[in-house]
Structure 1
Amino acid sequence: MDVVTAARPGEVTAPDHRAAARPLPATPPENRLIMPVQSFRSWKDEDRRRPVAPRAWKTPWLKRLLVFGGGLALTAYGAWEMYNVVSVSRTTSLQYVLLVLFTVNFSWIALAFTSAVLGFFGLLFDRTRPVHVDSLQHRTVVVMPIYNESTARTFAALAAIRESVEATGLGSHFDYFIVSDTTNPDVWIAEERAFLALRERLGPEARVYYRHRPKNHHRKAGNIADFVTRWGGHYEHMVVLDADSLMTGTCIVRLAAAMEADPDAGIIQSLPLIINRNTFFARLQQFAARVYGPVIATGLAMWSGRDGNYWGHNAIIRTKAFADHCGLPDLKGKPPFGGHVLSHDFVEAALIRRAGWSVYMLPDLTGSYEESPPSLIDVSVRDRRWCQGNLQHSRIIGAKGFVAPTRQHFATGIMGYLASPLWLMQLVVGILIVLQVSYARPEYFTQEFTLFPVWPRFDPERALNLFALTMAILLAPKLFGLLLTLFNGKLRRAGGGAIRLIVSALIEVLFSAFFAPIMMLIQSGSVFQILLGRDTGWNPQRRDDGSIPLKDIIRRHRMHTLLGLVTGISAFLIATSLFAWMSPTIVGLVLAIPLSWASGQLAIGLWLKRRKLLYTPEEGDPPAVALRANALQAEFAAAGYDDADGLRALHAEPALREAHEAMLPEAPPRRRGEIEADRAVAQAKLVDAETIDDAAIWLKPKERMVVLHDRALVALLASLPAERPAT
């Protein structure tokens, strides 16, 4: 068979008959970019580039005035009403504390409300039409970082994306790069087998590449940085994915065209919608993201303008600008607040914007998708990492040179997690005030003359009105999204019809209210752990549908249930009005265990799906790229790569072993007399092993990784017989 060697990405030379025995390289020749480490402490304004097209660089001052001015006005009104609620008579210190906590929490939802109002009217009167792209000038690479993922899922998604891009007729402008940080030896070999099978399937001109990094230094940010510094010089732009990302070819081509048409664009973010989810909790998230998400994202995009944010995936980036300005420094100190930047995407957007490049979102660009964790516990695991990353931004928000909207994005992320402990504190202070009202002795002699004793009291009518206002502001963005879906005939029909959409929205609101206090306690616990100095680490995310063992659910939520019972009984004994006020929180906590169990149940989700409840337009009219990815995933899963033992596969397939060795980087020379303990142990076990089964049983995961990284040890592994010799 003729072997075709790639001279550079996108170019193919004539067949090389002399190299017929040499496998095609897994990566193209390196074309390096320098990625200097940036400083948060020093910056000169003269270093900021000047826009090439300044007339297109319009700051949406009026929209920002509406959002932030309106949010401030609402907050002032809410604070004044709360002051009137607690100042009926003598105001205690606890009531002032309650006023402050309420004002902070209310400001958070008021800002979200005004931004949603802007997004609602922006979508209501939107008249933009998709632009057909028939030509591109530059090269773009689609980069998928993976970390201990299912190869059937990730390689099927990449293959489907490539097919969709090829169908646009502009496929020659795109390359595809899978950059692996996998630390599981069996998954690593599965990735190599899947890559080789995919390349054989697509042919030598597919321009699909694969690289495994020996050390996952700085995690995903380091993974992308390694790619940029080694191969980034080949490409004007890169589309960065997540392992669960899926994008249509039309979406990717339009992103590339938008980048080419805007010489000042540094990052252009698409709005990923959640698809392919079937568990109960995941379907709640999928429905909410599809129906309410566009309103929120459009409002954010409208007031942010060119000072937008980056969510780390499903976006296109100008590669040279990213290399020049997005080298992340390590923060002084130890994790959780020190060390490498965990939530790198916000920081990369801030740095590239500081340098004079624009960052913005195209929320009306369709064809961008992702998936979500399948259960409440899975979400909380991911959320713990996000919490640490966002709180870490408190050390970055004051960096020199950042524009004000960038600092607002950081503040929003930080407040997203501080809101939970603040809400918890507000509930605790409210309980203490009720106790004070119920059991405090009246003060007969005050500084002012009065004929009656003075108790700390509330204005119940104002309190009820303020509660109604708070709930209206909180639920309004969901109502806006539902109305827009109902107004759009195509979306309404694809979502199951008006009645089902309304029922689905009611289900989502009800169960979101039940899940909210559980997440409040989980997030509050995460914040307190981080403040105590506990690092989260970085565990691979569980993406498949599936339930969690009941004993693990009980262990995780038993304290939540106990707290709900104690709070409910105490509130009822103190005052029935307090019990009624806290009933949504109490019910959510008392039912934490069954709610968490139900969240991961596939049967519940599928039952709702069959009745077209929590049904999204993408389920009624599935995107072709999703159908193709699902079909390819079934084919790739049938190959069994994810279920195989990596060492045995490498031993049984000489071609795989040869390709594996070819993909290994050159090992750094070892110093004479220096002995690496793990390598010495692995080598000793291989020497003692009589068969490949012995080696597979004896070698621990860390030792397996040592073997797989060492050509000499791989050769020693290959020399082992498959079976014990007959005696």
Structure 2
Amino acid sequence: MALPMDTLGPIQRLNSTPAEAPLAMPEQSFQRRGFPAHHATRPSLRTIAARATLVIVTLSLAVFGVSEMYAVAKVGGMAALEWVLLIAFTAAFGWIAFSAANALAGVFSPRGRNEDIDAPGGLTAIVMPVYNEDPRDTFSAIAAMVNDLPKQLRTSFEVFVISDTTNPETWIAEERALAILRAKCGPTRVWYRRRRDNAHRKAGNVADFVRRWGGRYEHMVMLDADSLMTGMCLAKLRAAMIADPRAGIIQTCPSLIGGATPFARAQQFANTVTGPVVSHGIAAWQGEDGNYWGHNAIIRMTAFASAAGLPSLPGKPPFGGSILSHDFVEAALIRRAGWTVTMRADITGSYEGAPTDLFGVIKRDRRWAQGNLQHARLIGAAGLAFCSRLHFAIGILAYVMSPVWLFLLLTGVALSVQATLIRPEYFPSNFALFPTWPAFDADRMVTLFIISLVVLLLPKMIAMVNALFDRDLRRGCGGPVGVVGSTFLELLISTLIAPIMMIAQTGIVMSILLGRAVGWLPQARKGASVSWLAATHFHLVHMACGLVLGAIALIHSPTLAAWMSPTLFALILAVPISKGCGSFWLGRKLRRAHMMLTPQESRPPEVLRMARREAHAFPASLPRDALITLAEDPMLCDAHLGSLEPELRGRGSFDPTRALAAAKLGEAQSLEELASWLAPSERMLVLSDTNLLDRALQLAKARAINAKAA
């Protein structure tokens, strides 16, 4: 597809990248503390009150719950397995107590501030890292964000797309979309750079941008490929950073949008209703010792460059090599240097895409879990703020708690089996007429179960009540009936998928602990319907666990089987549950019934409607072949050649892929023949090398000349 004539001008007017403005970004040490740029201030009274609430409520609930569990188990004396059960319960109950306390700490959330959006403050880069994403989605979102900016700020922002794409056709599609985007962004300049070497993944991509062009900008708004932010949100973020010279990172709280399946809609509804309760709690207790989630945040360029250069960790992956969950570490290092890291829950209009199904989430969790567990090596790094270490610990526990819950479940099953199969050996050291039998206070256990359920559901109940009293949120979710009904439907879906995620995350954690590293795969953002055969294969382990646990429980204790029935039901029926949660048809039915409706659906923000309209201006599909597309579109080819960076290859170095591509190029008699011979890696190399690409294009020119002569 050739470029429309009205989009060719921007290719000629602008280079792909601006003149380089280098900014030093030294690698930081985790062994010694750097010299802070500012002196950290004491936390505010609100932050102190929120932290006190978090600690007091967490400890009070944990002590109460554990003491009740001890009272349940000590009937007849504590046996070895009962002590194991108590320890596992302590960890699990402490985790849900912390979550409940976090929701209560939200009453001390800092109040919003009104900064002057027109305050002068230098250029701000809107940075979009992409890695084999659909250019139509990412570029239309950028166009919508830029056109939603207040007109007086359009020249205060520049867009910089930093690509690590490795698919040839996606690369050419990005360059084709660039011309269209530039035509749509008017006075806001748009730049594009694709790296040859994808070293250190997204963190390396961003670091390369900062080192080469960071000096051009005062701040950068970091996006993800599915990010969308209103123009006013961008303007307020910029104004907030200008107003606070100590601010290093200001993080927004993105709302999920675009949920098309029951799973996505459940995540989207929970994020919209429960999310603010959680985020206000986090914002309250972390104060200026905040965290960074890697996107939908504004960062001061000098703070990032001077303090957030990441080294490779010694050793091999999964615990060595590149730092995967780099955002947590960057926030900790910037805070260590004396800059503030805050969350502004009051700055709304920040959005990101909702995960589609369990398949994509579990695959994504493999990478996230490795990154979070990697933080165990950094939690003791020199000079970090206590809250930064706490953020590391929370990230680790988010995945470690799945094995803890499974261990708690297996310990209960073991106690049941022991009571029926194994002869008791629990005689005390002193003389006694009877053994110490494992026994439990059944009535107290029921009470403890109810208490645990209340603590677990407290954030959701607070969120539901808050939504009922918030007129705009209540109306956006379908009224009181919609809020209550959707809350319980989301809870049902969460309950069904929790056991599946428990087994999946346990397997992920164990795999990482056994030394199996994960590769760098693009996220599945749109999803697709998975076949029943593929779903069965994917969930085979989950079903097997459910069947084995169910058989053991039924044989040895029907009462235990009844207690475990929700977990067993979810595991045994993992395939239909997963298929149902990922069904686009069922998602549409729920949408029509106004179930799990959100204000972003009932009253879509203008920037979202604009992004959907802008998408029609960009090609809906990738080129069928990158080389042939360039040969057929001379203007696009010229722009591509002008954007290529020189290859840094020393004399005598030998690249087998390049040699093979050159050999095929020498044998091919037409460009179509060459295209059919080249493997994807060879095609990428030809597209990256001006000499090889020129030789390939000569094949097309020679064929055209011969055809004309004939």
Asked if these proteins are the same fold (TM beyond 0.5), I'd say yes
Q: Which amino acid aligns with 1:246?
A: L
Cα distance in 1 between the residues matched to 2:263 and 2:666: 50
Residue in structure 2 matched with residue 549 of structure 1 by the alignment: 531
Cα distance change of structure 1 residues 420 and 21 upon mapping to structure 2, 3 Å threshold: closer
CA distance in 2, matches of 1:649, 1:704: 13
Partner of 2:617: 635
Supply the AA of the counterpart residue of 2:645: P
Match of 1:496 in 2: 478
| Matched residue, 1:26 | 16
Partner of 2:70: 83
Report the Cα offset of residue 686 of structure 1.
Answer: 1.7
- Map residues 374-385 of structure 1 onto 2, 5 A cutoff: 374-385=356-367
Report whether the alignment pairs 1:649 with 2:629. Answer: yes
- Of 113, 117, 130, the residue aligned with 1:146 is 130
Aligned equivalents of 2:152, 2:366: Cα separation in 1? 43
What RMSD, in angstroms, separates the aligned Cα atoms of the two structures?
Answer: 2.1
1:679 has 2:661 as partner: no
1 CA distance for matches of 2:672 and 2:614? 32
Distance 1:389 1:532 in 2: 15
1:62-112 Cα distance to aligned partner (Å, 9 max, x none): 221110122012111111111111100121111001100100111111111
1:310 is displaced (CA, Å) by 0.3
Mean Cα deviation higher: 541-550 or 246-255: 541-550
**Alpha-carbon distance in 2 for matches of 1:130, 1:584:** 48
Aligned residue among 21, 27, 38 for 1:50: 38
Alpha-carbon distance in structure 1 between the residues aligned to 2:423 and 2:305: 67
Residue 679 of structure 1 aligns with an amino acid whose one-letter code is R
Instruction: Give the match for residue 348 of structure 1.
Output: 330
Match of 1:163 among 125, 142, 147: 147
Q: How does 1:194-593 map to 2 (within 5 A)?
A: 194-203=177-186, 205-441=187-423, 446=428, 454-593=436-575
Residue 402 to residue 59, structure 1, CA distance change in 2 (3 Å): farther
Letter aligned with residue 341 of structure 1? I
Aligned-residue offset at 1:569: 2.0
Equivalent of residue 666 in structure 1, options 646, 654, 670: 646
> 8 Å contact 1:144–1:177 — kept in the other structure?
yes
Q: Letter of the aligned partner of 1:571 in structure 2?
A: A
Partner SS, residue 196 of structure 2: coil
2:52 pairs, out of 55, 65, 79, with 65
Closer, same or farther: CA 58–408 of 1 in aligned 2, 3 Å: same
* 1:713 paired residue number: 692
Q: Does 1:613 align with 2:591?
A: no
Aligned residue among 82, 100, 106 for 1:95? 82
Partner of 1:176: 159
Distance 1:500 1:674, change over 3 A: closer
Q: Deviations over 1:465-506 (max 9, x none)?
A: 111111111111011111111111111111111112211111
Higher mean C-alpha deviation, range 353-362 or range 642-651 = 642-651
Deviations 1:9-60 (A, max 9, x none): xxxxxxxxxx99965211110100000000001115xx223349x5886672
Contact 1:87–1:457 (CA under 8 A) maintained in structure 2: yes
Q: Which amino acid in structure 1 is aligned with residue 405 of structure 2?
A: W
Pick one of 662, 667, 675 that aligns with 1:696. Answer: 675
Any idea what the Cα deviations from partners look like across 1:225-247, whole Å, max 9, x if unmatched?
01101111011111000000000
Counterparts of 2:541 and 2:288 in 1: how far apart (Å)? 45
Identical counterparts, % of pairs: 47
CA distance in 2, matches of 1:443, 1:147: 60
- Deviation per CA, 1:112-157: give whole Å up to 9, x if none: 10111122x357xx87576663433322111000000000000001
Shift of 1:666: 2.0
Gaps of 5+ in 2: 1-8
Q: 1:130 to 1:696 in 2, by over 3 A?
A: same
Match in the other structure for 1:10 = none
**Residue-by-residue CA offset, 1:294-334 (whole Å, 9 max, x unaligned):** 10111011000000100000000000110001000111100
Q: State the Cα distance separating 1:201 from its structure 2 match.
A: 4.2
CA contact (8 A) 1:59 1:306 kept: no
Residue segments in structure 1 that go unaligned for 5+ positions in a row? 1-18
State TM-score, norm by structure 1.
Answer: 0.93
Helix, strand or coil: the match of 1:614?
Answer: coil
> In the superposition, relative to structure 1, how do residues 656 and 590 fare at CA in structure 2: closer, same or farther (>3 Å)?
same
Offset from partner CA, 1:534-572 (integer Å, 9 cap, x none): 011110011114212222211110121122112112211
Q: Distance in 2 between matches of 1:341 and 1:130?
A: 36
SS of 2:276's equivalent in the other structure is helix
Alpha-carbon separation, structure 2, partners of 1:502 and 1:218 = 45
Deviations 1:134-188 (A, max 9, x none): 43332211100000000000000111111011x3531121111000000111111
CA–CA distance in structure 1, aligned partners of residues 159 and 12 of structure 2: 22
**Does 1:189 pair with 2:176?**
no
Alpha carbons of structure 1 residues 329 and 58: separation in structure 2 relative to 1, 3 Å: farther
Task: State which drifts further: 564-573 or 444-453.
Answer: 444-453
The number of equivalent residue pairs is 698
> Residue 3 of structure 1 aligns with which residue?
none
